[in-house]
Amino acid sequence: MDASKPTIPVTLIPGDGIGPEVVTAARRIVEATGAQIGWEEQRAGAAVFKEGMPSGVPQETIESIGRTRVALKGPLETPVGFGEKSANVTLRKLFETYGNIRPVRTLPGVPTAFSDRNIDLVVVRENVEDLYAGIEYMQTPSVAQALKLISVKGSEKISRFGFEYARSEGRTKVACATKANIMKLSEGTMKRAFEKVALDYPDIESWHVIVDNAAHQLVKRPEQFEVLVTTNMNGDILSDLTSALVGGLGFAPSANIGNEVAIFEAVHGSAPKYAGKDVINPTAMILSAVMMLRYLGLFDEAAAIEHAVFVTLESGVLTGDVLGYDRGTPTSTYADAIIGNLGQRTEAWTIRDAKKLVLPALDPAPDYVRPTERNVVGLDVFVESPLSAAELGASLMELTHDTRLSLKMVSSRGTKVFPPTGAMTETGDHFRCRFIIKETPGDLPDEDVNQLLARISRRHRWMHIEKLQEFDGELGFTRDQGEN
């Protein structure tokens, strides 16, 4: 220990299955660089779930991370029958680590379909919003619904993060992948946020790509991407795709970064069948530790490890995931080889010059967007009914004709089915009934909403209501297939 250098506290979570083995490998290599880390070892995962804690994360662990603000963690398992939520997701959400960073690059000696290509890209995935919130309802006994929530602020924050991350690594291109062509409000929010933020980074080339095309392009010509910013669910799929381009999850590091806390972890799971066998590839965890060192400002130590990993791979020292588990280098031997190669440099493979990442600072006000004018112009009432669309439509018109709202249409899974369109749309037991205020312009008070609901309740079973709003003259809702 060098008493003139400060010791940096880091929470260390070995995790489940092969977690302790890969975390030990990473820790030994970090220590061998001389980085002065004060590890606080903490628990989370399977054993904690089994003790009856439904989050899988004990209070001491939460407090440790709250103190150190940095964690290096192994994979956590949610044992079947214990807890509804993944402990990995819980940690990300508890500490609002909104930026998930998943870098991949072509590695020496690792054979893939893309070995001869120069892939070096980073997926920057929004990490706390979107369908991952897991907010779900059975609307009827036959129809499930999940809510996809995307905020303007969350989208601007991750977009800005993407550009800042690019700058911190000297990258010059940032793309954004969304499905804004189909989901104009939710995915469109991310697209618009990205395009707005891009204006502040004129030195960086930026463009938008539709997410299915992004998946296509990542396979066809992955070299075109440097940084790819995207929403949570898209990013989940795209980042797992990219890790396959360079040799699989054994080589896929990640970071979850928020304003207060950063958590570094391999992407892979706990692989229980390999646990304790000293055969697993620890590269993903080692490269996660490299990301951590850069986050902590220990750039030389980070570069030293990255060089040593490349020199080791170049020399043909490879683990079982690449060579076959009967022939691979053991985990501990592989870590020893990297430690032995510390101080060596590879010429063929560049290591990026990294700078400290600047985290975005956004307006902390809760009402991030403030319209000057707003109105409630109608109501969508979701109804469970065994009736046909025509019968339901007629009944609703009769029930509500003397209210301040009129029935505009009934739809089934986004397609208008009443008034009839002549199409072959199948209906089930789940209908959305759109009511629009009669006087325009108008703003519907809650008393009228309640009156409408009371009328509908006389004969029908509703389970879900959405107010139709207008903000500064812009519709806050989409039209349906077949709606004019």
279: left (phi over 0), alpha (psi -120 to 50) or beta: alpha
CA atoms within 13 Å, Cβ hemisphere of 192: 12
Q: Decide: is 140 part of the binding site for a second copy (CB under 8 A).
A: yes
With CB under 8 A as the contact rule, which of the stretches 11-19, 87-95, 275-283, 336-344 interacts with a second copy? 87-95
Which whole-number Å values give the CA distances from 392 to 398, 419, 420, 429, 460, in the listed order? 10, 11, 12, 11, 9
Q: Does residue 397 contact residue 470 with C-beta atoms inside 8 Å?
A: no
Q: Does residue 246 contact residue 85 with C-beta atoms inside 8 Å?
A: no
**Whose Cβ is closer to a second copy: residue 27's or residue 416's?**
416
Is 212 a catalytic site residue? yes
Residues that bind a second copy (rule: CB under 8 A) add up to a total of: 128
**Whose Cβ is closer to a second copy: residue 32's or residue 218's?**
218
Q: Which two tokens stand for residue 209?
A: 């790509």
Q: Decide: is 62 part of the binding site for a second copy (CB under 8 A).
A: yes
Q: Decide: is 152 part of the binding site for a second copy (CB under 8 A).
A: yes
Q: Decide: is 446 part of the binding site for a second copy (CB under 8 A).
A: yes
CA 42 to CA 12: how far, in whole Å?
Answer: 6
What is the footprint of a second copy within residues 119-138 (CB under 8 A)? 128-129, 131-138
* Nearest-approach distance from CB 147 to a second copy, in angstroms: 6
Position 163, amino acid: F
Looking at 73, 179, 191, 408, which residue is catalytic?
179
Q: Residue 144: count other Cβ atoms within 10 Å of its Cβ.
A: 11
* Nearest-approach distance from CB 243 to a second copy, in angstroms: 6
On the 0-12 / 13-18 / 19+ scale of CB atoms within 10 A, 49 is: buried
With CB under 8 A as the contact rule, which of the stretches 35-43, 143-151, 329-337, 398-406 interacts with a second copy? 143-151
**Whose Cβ is closer to a second copy: residue 253's or residue 338's?**
253
**Whose Cβ is closer to a second copy: residue 204's or residue 210's?**
210
Of the candidates 96, 92, 90, the one whose C-alpha atom is nearest the C-alpha of residue 78 is 90
Q: Decide: is 449 part of the binding site for a second copy (CB under 8 A).
A: yes
As beta bridge partners, residue 376 has 469
Eight-class DSSP state of 358:
P
Which listed residue (32, 48, 150, 263) binds a second copy by CB under 8 A?
150
Eight-class DSSP state of 247:
T
* Nearest-approach distance from CB 335 to a second copy, in angstroms: 25
**Whose Cβ is closer to a second copy: residue 140's or residue 281's?**
140
* Helix (H/G/I), strand (E/B), else coil: 48: helix
Q: Decide: is 43 part of the binding site for a second copy (CB under 8 A).
A: no
On the 0-12 / 13-18 / 19+ scale of CB atoms within 10 A, 111 is: exposed
With CB under 8 A as the contact rule, which of the stretches 13-21, 40-48, 245-253, 348-356 interacts with a second copy? 245-253
Q: Does residue 111 contact residue 252 with C-beta atoms inside 8 Å?
A: no
Looking at 98, 132, 274, 295, which residue is catalytic?
132
Binding mask 292-321 for a second copy (x = CB under 8 A): ------------------------------
Which listed residue (75, 427, 437, 444) binds a second copy by CB under 8 A?
427
**Whose Cβ is closer to a second copy: residue 114's or residue 201's?**
114
Q: Residue 143: count other Cβ atoms within 10 Å of its Cβ.
A: 15
* Nearest-approach distance from CB 386 to a second copy, in angstroms: 5
Looking at 212, 353, 443, 472, which residue is catalytic?
212
Q: Decide: is 344 part of the binding site for a second copy (CB under 8 A).
A: no
With CB under 8 A as the contact rule, which of the stretches 29-37, 149-157, 159-167, 201-209 interacts with a second copy? 149-157
As beta bridge partners, residue 4 has none
Q: Decide: is 261 part of the binding site for a second copy (CB under 8 A).
A: yes
On the 0-12 / 13-18 / 19+ scale of CB atoms within 10 A, 69 is: middle
Q: Which two tokens stand for residue 162?
A: 């993407």
Of the candidates 48, 40, 51, the one whose C-alpha atom is nearest the C-alpha of residue 9 is 40
What is the footprint of a second copy within residues 204-223 (CB under 8 A)? 211-213, 215-220
Which listed residue (6, 202, 324, 366) binds a second copy by CB under 8 A?
366
With CB under 8 A as the contact rule, which of the stretches 160-168, 287-295, 311-319, 422-430 interacts with a second copy? 422-430
Is 179 a catalytic site residue? yes
Q: Which two tokens stand for residue 120?
A: 């070096």
Structure-token match 């325009």, residue found? 440
Q: Decide: is 94 part of the binding site for a second copy (CB under 8 A).
A: yes
Q: Which residues are catalytic?
A: 132, 179, 212, 236
